[in-house]
Amino acid sequence: MADDIAEQDGIEEDVLDSRRMEAISEAVATEDSGRLASLLAPLHAADIADLLEQIGRSERRDLLRLWPDGIDGDILSELDEGIREEIIDSLAPDVLADAVRELDTDDVVDILEDLEEADQDRILGALEAEDRVAVQQALSYPDYSAGRLMQREVVVAPVGWNVGQAIDYMRSTEGLPDQFYHVILVDDGMKPQGYVTLGRVLSSRRDVLLKDIEEESFRTIEATEPEADVAYIFNQYHLISCPVVDENDRLVGAITIDDAMNVLDEEHEEDMLRMAGVGDEASLSDTIFEAAKGRAVWLFVNLLTAILASSVIAEFTDSINKLVALAVLMPIVASMGGNAGTQTMTVAVRALATRDLTAQNAFRVIRREAAVGAINGLVFGMLMAIIAGWWFGLPMLSLVIGIAMVLTLISAAAGGILIPMGLQKLGVDPALASGPFVTTVTDVVGFFAFLELASWILL
């Protein structure tokens, strides 16, 4: 049926393109539930989540009403947090129960931790007793920790087993995870001793001991470890899964690479949003008030820092009145300094996040960035000196803006790396707070250098 509709409308079978979007909107508008279900059926859960996030609240409500049994756990886990809560509130209890029962515990925890208590209770009530206890235990761990990120479903084998025993166990046991990469070897106290990849299990003889083919990459992660550190460990040591242990080193779950990479992606996205001053949870699904509120705080900070920079200009009002060319050239100095500072700050914030910038190499990196600023300052200072000389016919003005450009770009480079490092030292997220302070430093130094040199040399 879905294939027939796709052929009739000229729609690719399993792609969420503009034609399918238009067809879905038309089906919703005409309340054609059969056609809507056929259009949605071939789509991946992530595509359906994207669709629900892109359409308006009213159309989303109508779509869910016409497609009441279509929402499953995979779609819920892919949804943006704000939209997810809205959709959960609209689902019938039996539909919600069926949806969450399909998910591994880590996905259920991911859905629950951002919901109101009443919605959490609804979902927990839909789970079987064993799964409910597992989810509640995961929720007892700190926010953004490995315990929240892990899945409880793991495949374990006694450390003394051979390949044949492990294969027979996996074939005869129900309820194994849908996806797993390792068989974790444990001792009598459920403490992990190593792990073996499925590939090694399947390619080895039945009489081979599991401990003889275990991976050298084996390590464990404590349940209270911050998830950002977990993602770093996965990325740094090229892990595909890792056992999670409690304070007594007993196995409590495992984290897989897809969850670790999601954390890396979220960290990267948060850094980008914070550097732009729009909040670390900004989304296109936010209401107008939520979006305005999220951006207002750092706009206010930026206003205060802009006033500080303007106060420097106010000190040189007489000089500007005597030589109007200064007012013409000031924005050029500020713009070049701001861009140079932003470039260095972006590199520094990312290097701090990936732990490439440390106390051990900080001096070398600062020296390098200052040298880069000096070289660019000389190049663009000379270029701007030529332009200013031709523009205003004042040779000494060329000297002033050339020197000011060099000083500004050096200070921008230094500020762009020292400010993020200083903020991190103070326990403040560099991605969140660096921007306004770097801009202020470059503006203050740029304006002061340019106007002070002009007052001294020209007036």
Residues 6 or more apart whose Cβ sits within 8 Å of residue 200: 213, 215
CA atoms within 13 A on the CB side of 304: 7
pLDDT at 277 over 90: no
Domains of the chain, first to last: 2-144 (1.25.60.10), 156-275 (3.10.580.10), 288-457 (1.10.357.20)
CA 270, CA 283: separation in Å to the nearest integer? 11
Q: Which of 85-99, 207-221, 272-286, 386-400 has the lowest mean pLDDT?
A: 272-286
pLDDT at 2 over 50: no
3-state secondary structure of 233: helix
pLDDT at residue 269, as a whole number? 64
Q: Kindly report the average pLDDT of the chain as a whole number.
A: 84
pLDDT at 9 over 80: no
- Model confidence at 254, pLDDT cuts 50, 70, 90, reads very high
Sign of CA dihedral 329, 331, 336, 338: positive
Q: What is the 3-state secondary structure (H, E, C) of 19-32?
A: HHHHHHHHHHHCCC
Distance of CA 258 to the CA centre of its chain: 14
pLDDT at 280 over 60: no
Q: Which of 92-96, 328-332, 393-397 has the lowest mean pLDDT?
A: 92-96
CA 382, CA 355: separation in Å to the nearest integer? 37
Give the CA angle between residues 305, 306, 310 to the nearest 5°.
120
End-to-end Cα, the chain, rounded Å: 83
pLDDT at 12 over 80: no
Q: What pTM, to 2 d.p., does this model score? A: 0.63
- Model confidence at 375, pLDDT cuts 50, 70, 90, reads very high
Condensed to tens digits (0 to 9), the pLDDT of residues 24-53 reads 999 999 999 999 998 998 898 889 988 888
Task: Pick 112 or 20 by higher pLDDT.
Answer: 20
Amino acid identity of residue 202, one-letter, is L
Neighbour tally for 401: CB within 10 Å: 27
pLDDT at 245 over 90: yes
pLDDT at 440 over 80: yes
pLDDT at residue 273, as a whole number? 57
Condensed to tens digits (0 to 9), the pLDDT of residues 403-413 reads 999 999 999 99
What is the enclosing helix (H) or strand (E) of 244?
strand 241-245
In percent, how much of the chain has pLDDT > 70? 89
Q: Helices 18-29 and 2-9: crossing angle, nearest 10°? A: 110
Task: Give 3-state DSSP helix, strand, coil % of the chain, rounded to 5.
Answer: 65, 5, 25
